[in-house]
Amino acid sequence: MPPTTDVRLSQLVRAQIARPSPIRQIMKMAERQNILAMGLAPEDVISFGGGWVNHQAPDALRRAYAEIVNDEATFHKSGAYTATLGDRDCREQLARFETHVFGVPRLGAEHVAIGAGSTQLTHDVFRTLLDPGDTVMLMDPTYANYEGQLAFAAPDINVVRLRLMDPQTWSYLPRADPDRVIADFHRAFDQHRPRLVLFGAPDNPTSQVLPQSLVEAMRARTETAGAWLAIDFAYKCQFFQTPPAYYGWSPADYPNVIGIHSNSKWGRGLGRRLGWIIAVPQVIEALERVQQCSLLCPDTLAQMAMARYVPAAIGDGSLRRYVDDTNAKYREAARITIAAVDEHLGRPRLEPMGGLYTVVDVGTDADAFVPRALQATGVLVVPGGGFGPSLAHGVRISYGPLVMTPEKITEGISRLGRWLRSSA
Ligand SMILES: Cc1ncc(COP(=O)(O)O)c(C=O)c1O
């Protein structure tokens, strides 16, 4: 194969290949051959790197798949295309899911577009809403993939970031000083006039949930300016405190708010690619045009299984129980993680409000710290700089993959602590 510089790739792709996702780079470091090359035993490595969940999917969902696959006629049907926005019945059931779990009112199939996970849908939402030269407001820190996704979805997008972390005090400003962040938001909005404001609830990597007052200010300001507010709800079902009111907002009441939802984290359907957008019908219809060119239709088998599972699991109460039981597992994993960080690292960190992560201040350039820590301890964490400049001295620790093996959480963090003390 010739080197990529010798083949005729697009300028955009060449530019983006030169700027690979920092998280993917780190995860590559943890691949078996690289671990062996470092002289480490792969079975001794403890990885806090992965942004994924590891609990069991609902058994009733597994059975729904089995019923469809075991019956010749339904299996045949699962090989057909559905409508571009997804099967009407499945769209209706996903609307019911949101109403049942989060109390979202007045929601119907017309507010739902199904896609192949939130990654594809976020790309298509960008494509649907943005023009060249537009500005998008992201948080600092936030999910590392948004900038690359913006670059691929729409040319010449300007990104401005709203600073949410104080790296000096390691405090999360929307909690420590919400009025200041609201004032900062208004100032930045007036200066840059973004067409879209996007944040995660809870966010990756901080696992913090923006307070209602800030999100209400964002909603009102974007609405008056004719702009959009998008909320990435990839971790919506992992909440350790009563969720703020905006978890239950409906496009019927707030027409400029777009919810990005995913099957990946709540029911461990990461590889069974399914996600959905909740928005006003005009956005959903526009997405249909975009998806005709990006996806054609979402996975039919996944939609058939979901459309069987949701009404049955709402009916017998098992969906609510499943969400509650899953939450309890991640809340406990978060508690164990924070207790181990406090005991073994004694460094500033954020207490998760949901999600799969905490961020810890390592007090030094994290890009250099992470490979040294892996080499010395066999423990992998993710450097924070890829999530935003405020985390350049921080690392993300994910307890998601270790939720069923909490002893590894304690073991991994205590190894890091021993190394830090011995090298101090
Ligand atoms: C904030 C956030 N959004 C979206 C995704 C991607 O989710 P999906 O599997 O639905 O594409 C992730 C994955 O880690 C994430 O952290």
Q: Indicate whether residue 269 lines ligand 1 (CB < 6 A).
A: no
- Rounded to the nearest angstrom, the distance between the alpha carbon of 323 and the centre of ligand 1 is 18
Mean pLDDT for the chain? 96
The pLDDT value given to residue 22: 72
The conformation of residue 230, written as its DSSP 8-state character, comes to E
- The letter for the amino acid at 305 is A
d(CA 80, CA 118) in angstroms, rounded, equals 22
Q: Is 413 exposed, middle or buried (0-12, 13-18, 19+ CB in 10 A)?
A: buried
Q: What residue type is assigned to position 371 of the chain?
A: P
Percentage of residues of the chain with pLDDT beyond 90: 93
Mean pLDDT, residues 168-195: 98
Task: Identify the band that residue 341 occupies on the pLDDT scale cut at 50, 70 and 90.
Answer: very high
Please count the other Cβ atoms lying within 10 Å of the Cβ belonging to residue 145: 18
Strands (E), 210-272: 228-232, 257-262
The pLDDT-based confidence of 25 (bands split at 50, 70, 90) is confident
Bridge-based pairing state of the strands 46-47 and 379-380: parallel
The pLDDT value recorded for residue 162 is: 98
Would you place residue 358 in the very low, low, confident or very high pLDDT band (cuts 50, 70, 90)? very high
Q: How far is the CA of 262 from the centre of ligand 1 (A)?
A: 7
Contact partners, residue 134, CB within 8 Å, separation at least 6: 154, 157, 158, 194, 195, 196
Protein residue closest via CA to atom 7 of ligand 1: 118
For the chain, list the domains and their CATH numbers: 4-56+321-422 (3.90.1150.10), 59-316 (3.40.640.10)
Residue 71: is its pLDDT beyond 70? yes
Higher pLDDT: 251 or 31? It is: 251
Q: How far is CA 92 from the centre of its chain?
A: 24
Q: What ligand 1 atom has the least distance to the C-alpha of 275?
A: 10
CB atoms near residue 154 (< 10 Å) = 20
Q: What does the DSSP 8-state code read for residue 354?
A: B
Ligand 1 within 6 A of 222 CB?
A: no
Query: Residue 5: its pLDDT value, please?
Result: 58
Per-residue pLDDT tens for 92-126? 999 999 999 999 999 999 999 999 999 999 999 99
Give the pLDDT band of residue 3 (cuts 50, 70, 90): low
Residue 39 pLDDT exceeds 60: yes
User: Does residue 78's CB lie within 6 angstroms of at least one atom of ligand 1?
Assistant: no
- Position 2 confidence tier, pLDDT thresholds 50, 70, 90: low
What sign results for the dihedral spanned by CA atoms 348, 421, 336, 43?
Answer: positive
pLDDT for the residue 91: 98
Give me ligand 1 centre to Cα 118, in Å. 6
* Residue 284: both structure tokens together: 């959903």
Which of ligand 1's atoms lies nearest the C-alpha of 117?
Answer: 10
- Looking at ligand 1, which residue's alpha carbon is closest to its atom 12? 234
Q: Indicate whether residue 361 lines ligand 1 (CB < 6 A).
A: no
Q: 115: CA distance to ligand 1 center in Å?
A: 13
Indicate whether 390 pLDDT > 80. yes
Q: What is the average pLDDT across 327-344? A: 98
Token digits for 333?
Answer: 């994993």
Among residues 392, 324, 387, the alpha carbon closest in space to that of 362 is found at 392
Q: Can you tell me the mean pLDDT for 274-290?
A: 98
Q: Residue 415: pLDDT above 70? A: yes
Q: Is the pLDDT of residue 83 over 80?
A: yes
**How is residue 31 written in tokens?**
């691949």
Inform me whether the pLDDT recorded for 23 exceeds 80: no
- Is 291's C-beta closer than 6 angstroms to any atom of ligand 1? no
Ligand 1 pocket test target in 209, 264, 268, 276 with most atoms within 8 Å of CB: 264
What span, in angstroms and rounded, lies between the C-alpha atoms of 115 and 261?
Answer: 10
Eight-state DSSP code of residue 153 = H
Read off the pLDDT of each residue in 246-265 and give the average, rounded to a whole number.
98
Cβ 232 under 6 angstroms from ligand 1:
yes
Percent of the chain at pLDDT above 70?
99
Task: Decide: helix, strand or coil at residue 306.
Answer: helix
Taking each helix axis from N to C end, the angle separating 118-129 and 281-294, rounded to the nearest 10 degrees, works out to: 110
115 lines ligand 1 (CB under 6 A): no
- The arithmetic mean of pLDDT across residues 294-304, rounded, is 98
Question: Residue 210 pLDDT > 70, yes or no?
Answer: yes
Residue 242's contacts (CB-CB under 8 Å, 6 or more residues apart) are: none
Residue 160 in 3-state DSSP? strand
**What is the rounded average pLDDT of the residues 232-259?**
97
Question: Residue 276: pLDDT above 70?
Answer: yes
pTM of the predicted model over 0.75: yes
Ligand 1 center to 185 CA (angstroms): 25
pLDDT band at 372 (very low <50, low <70, confident <90, very high): very high
Say yes or no to pLDDT of 222 above 70.
yes
Residue 284 has pLDDT above 70, yes or no: yes
Q: Is the pLDDT confidence value at 19 over 90? A: no
Total residue length of the chain: 424
Would the CB of 141 count as within 6 Å of ligand 1?
Answer: no
Q: Which atom of ligand 1 is the closest one to the Cα of 270?
A: 9
SS3 383: strand
